[in-house]
Copies of this chain bind each other. A is one copy, B any other.
Amino acid sequence: MKGPAQLTAAILAAAALLPAITHAQLFSLTKDQMVDFTAQNPFERFPDGRPKVPDALIERARAMSSEEVWAILPGKGFRSQYEDGFQILHPGKKLVGRAFTLQFMPLRPDLDGVIQAKAQAAGQGRMYNQTAIDMLQPGDVLVVDLFGQGEGGTIVGDNLFYYIMKATKGAGLVVDGAIRDLEGISGMDMPAYFRRAHPSAISNVIISGINVPVRIGKATVMPGDLVFGDSEGVYFIPPALVQPIVDNADVIHIHDEWTRLKFDEGKYKSRQIYGTPTDPALKKEYEEYLKKRLEEIRKTYK
C-alpha cells in the first residue's frame, strides 16, 4: 500500500527514503549455460532455456505431501532440496509451480553504480524488484533469496503481490526474507512462504542474480525446479525427478488407503499391517489391491 509520492506532502516525506533502494543484476546465465547446468531436464524449455515441467505433472503433484517427496530425493543423493521454518500465508493450500529465482545482496554503492549504469546503457531503466517481477510467466513460483532479512527485506506489498498473482495465475511466492501488507495480502488467493512480515519497504539491497542457482536456507534451488510446498515446508525438485516422485506418490496413497481399511477392521496390531504385511495372504491381498487401484487411478490421467 505504498502511496503515490507526487501527491501529498505526507507521502513526500516517506519518499525521501527511496533513493536508498537500489537494485541491479550481477549474475545471469546465457541460454546455453542454462541448458548445460540443467542438462538432465527431460522436458521442454522456455525460450531462455529454463526447464518447463509440464502442466499435467504440476496438477498431479498437487495431491502429494512433503513425505512423498522425501521418500525419493535423499535416496538419490539430493539432501539439500528441503527448507522449512516459514510463515505460511494459507497453510491449507498447496504451493506447486516452476521456480523463477531471484538473488539479492546487501547494497554496496560502488557495485550498485556499475550495475545501474549497465542497465541504463542497455535501455532497461533501473534494475529493481519489479524488473524481475515483470518477467514472470503463468505457473511460475517466485523464489527469492533475501538472506532472511526482515526490515528492508520485503520483496512485495499487496499491490505487487496482486500483480504476481495475476501474472503467474496464482502459482506462488517463496522468500527467504519478508513481505509487507500482510493485512491486505491475507485475502488474496495465492500461496506464499516467508520468514516474517514487516511494514517497511524493500531497501539497502541490490539484485545480484535473476534465474541463477540460489540458496534458500539449506536448499539449493535451480531455475525451473518444481517448487512444492505444504503445511510443513517447501521442496525444490529437479525436473528429472518429478515423474518418479508423482508416480511413487500414487503407490503411497494406495498403501495408506489399504492400511487404514485394515486398521478399521480392528483385528490387527499395527506391526501386522504396516509397513509390509507380515502374513503372506495379507501381503498378496495388498498387492492385488495396489495393482487394481493403480490401474483405476492412472486411467484418470489420460
Contact = CB atoms under 8 A, between A and B. Distances in A.
Contacts of A266: 166
15 contacts: A3-B252, A3-B255, A4-B276, A10-B75, A13-B72, A14-B71, A76-B109, A106-B218, A107-B220, A110-B238, A111-B220, A134-B271, A162-B259, A180-B232, A182-B231
A65 B184 contact: yes
B3 A248 contact: yes
Interface in A73-90: 74-82, 84
Contacts of A68: 1
Contacts of A208: 213
Interface size class on chain A is 35 or more
Contacts of A69: 199
A264 B166 CA distance: 8
B263 A213 contact: no
Contact of A166 (B14, B74, B255, B263): B263
A50 interface: no
Question: Closest 7 A-B residue pairs measured CB to CB?
Answer: A13-B75, A80-B106, A70-B199, A10-B248, A66-B199, A3-B252, A134-B269
Interface string A1-43: 1111111101101111100000000110000000011111000
Contacts of A14: 70-72, 74-75
A289 to B, nearest CB: 11
Interface of A: 1-8, 10-11, 13-17, 26-27, 36-40, 65-72, 74-82, 84, 92, 105-111, 114, 118, 125, 130-131, 133-134, 147, 157-160, 162-163, 166, 180-184, 186, 196-200, 204, 206, 208, 212-213, 215, 218-220, 222, 230-233, 238, 240, 244-245, 247-248, 251-253, 255-256, 259-260, 263-264, 266, 269-271, 274-276, 286-287, 290
Q: Counting chain B CB atoms within 10 Å of each CB, which of A5, A147, A198 scores highest?
A: A198
Contacts of A110: 38-40, 78, 222, 238, 240
B197 A274 contact: no
Nearest to A108: B220
A25 B130 CA distance: 29
Given A37-B114, A181-B67, A10 B163 contact: no
B270 A157 contact: no
Given A8-B251, A84-B196, 4 more contacts: A14-B75, A92-B186, A108-B222, A110-B222
